[in-house]
Amino acid sequence: MAQSNPVKAFHVCRVIPMPNSPNSAAQTSLPLTFFDVLWLRFPPTQRLFFYECPYPKETLTDIILPKLKHSLSVTLQHYLPLAGNLTWPPDSGKPIIQYNEGDAVSLTVAESAANFSILSGNSFREAETIHHFLPFLLASKTGVPVLALQVTLFPNAGFSIGYAAHHAVFDGKSIAMFMHSWAFVCRCGGDSTLIPELTPTYDRTIVKDPSDLENAYLNDVLAFDGSNEKSLEFWDLKAPAEVMLGTFHLTQANVESIKKWVEAKWKEKHTKKAAFSPSTFAITSAYTWVCLVKTRKLMTEKVHLGIAVDCRARLEPPIPSSYFGNCVTARFIDADTNKVMEEDGVAIAARAIGEAIGGLDDGVLKGAEELMPNFSSRQGVGLFSVAGSPRFEFYKTDFGWGRPSKVEMVSISKSGAFYLSDPKDGNGGVEIGVVLKKHETEAFASVFASGLECHQVQKS
């Protein structure tokens, strides 16, 4: 049973983009691409950043909070659509992102006496409790805010920043760019000039759609729940009650050890085939996937893994890395449940993931029109997915008071995905966030730890 609300909100404000700037506009709209439409009714992405600052409440409210608010206003000069809303006009076939002068980002300021160390630790915590430190996006059929923020103060301990971001507007790379931009402006004393890699590109004409994926995805979204009506209300993914969030870590040494073990297993069983050298992503995803399958002791014939693929550099021609919006597609990996649970299950899973990634060379959007049907056909207890990426470098989000002591992707408590992140210590390896039912937590921790001992290459 989750504890009562440990957070007391004492201020809700609207932060508008800094006026009188070269980038200001009375009104601006941004069309959605087929990449965006795919995520139209998925629940928002929610992430929580904890910063250890053992200052009294007065310092937090009188110094840190004003700097956060001012730098947010300055940053929004460059990110005007984030202060707007996603709307679906009655006469339009698809929604648009609309910013009007006076629109703002909602910022909730709260205080908590909860244990900061426990909340920002790696041990399993109840997801329901963590949600108290996050804002929500209130969606209707015709409109929904793009972004909401919450700053929670922990006197004599630190503060947290939580966001809820609409997935049809942001992908992981885009929200990371915004957070790094906000932190950069705050850390540099409110300077409104962003470095090139943090300056967003909004040009939608560079996204080509020769296969008319936009209409295919719109039709899939409208038909998904059987209602076939225009709506921006989020789908209820029916997340299980009383789930727990926990964090695990594969060091660089762990990754290399598992990689060598996988390569050795492949060579042992496939002597006549070319050598197989899996990526860090394939190793980390395969290892976590297998640990989850073993923990849940699934009886399904097949298990599936969905992975997101950043298309920016893979499109022809490629589009800038600073492109702001969604630019991801997905691949699904299928495997026999029994084989994944065997001794060499990690090697089997890593090979399957590697082949899926290698298949992207044939065209990153090949088969993209079947993305939603493929997702629907695999829904159920055998479907797992990967969220986040170490490349987003969220642990480098320094607002001027040091790196975060913890970054948590809380939205996996609804999606059921596991997430990958850069490590807190910056020394390589991968941080892994998982969501489990309470009775599964000890079993997963045991499987995860014992697997690191088993996946060692025997020295001659």
Q: Identity (one letter) of the amino acid at 96?
A: I
Q: Give yes or no for a contact between 80 and 26, defined as CB atoms under 8 angstroms apart.
A: no
Q: Give yes or no for a contact between 402 and 51, defined as CB atoms under 8 angstroms apart.
A: yes
Strands of 45-52's sheet, edge to edge?
A: 7-15, 105-112, 147-154, 158-165, 45-52, 406-409
Among 209, 310, 336, 398, the one annotated catalytic: 398
Range 98-111 burial, b when 16+ CB lie within 10 A, else e: bbeeebebbbbbbb
The CA angle 33-34-35, to the nearest 5 degrees, is: 90
Q: What does the block give as tokens for 317? A: 């021609």
398 is catalytic: yes
Q: Give yes or no for a contact between 153 and 57, defined as CB atoms under 8 angstroms apart.
A: yes
Among 167, 180, 304, 455, the one annotated catalytic: 167
Report how far residue 220's alpha carbon sits from residue 375's, in angstroms, rounded to the nearest whole number. Answer: 11
Which secondary structure element, helix H or strand E, spans residue 172, and what is its range? helix 172-187
167 is catalytic: yes
Q: Which residue has the tokens 């992102």?
A: 97
Q: What does the block give as tokens for 416? A: 């059921």
Q: Give yes or no for a contact between 295 and 452, defined as CB atoms under 8 angstroms apart.
A: no
- Three-state SS for 273? coil
Report how far residue 186's alpha carbon sits from residue 25's, in angstroms, rounded to the nearest whole number. Answer: 23
- Three-state SS for 13? strand
Closest CA to 32 of 392, 331, 330, 324: 324
Closest CA to 327 of 179, 215, 189, 175: 175
Report how far residue 348's alpha carbon sits from residue 354's, in angstroms, rounded to the nearest whole number. Answer: 10
Q: Give yes or no for a contact between 98 and 32, defined as CB atoms under 8 angstroms apart.
A: no
Tell me the catalytic residues: 167, 398
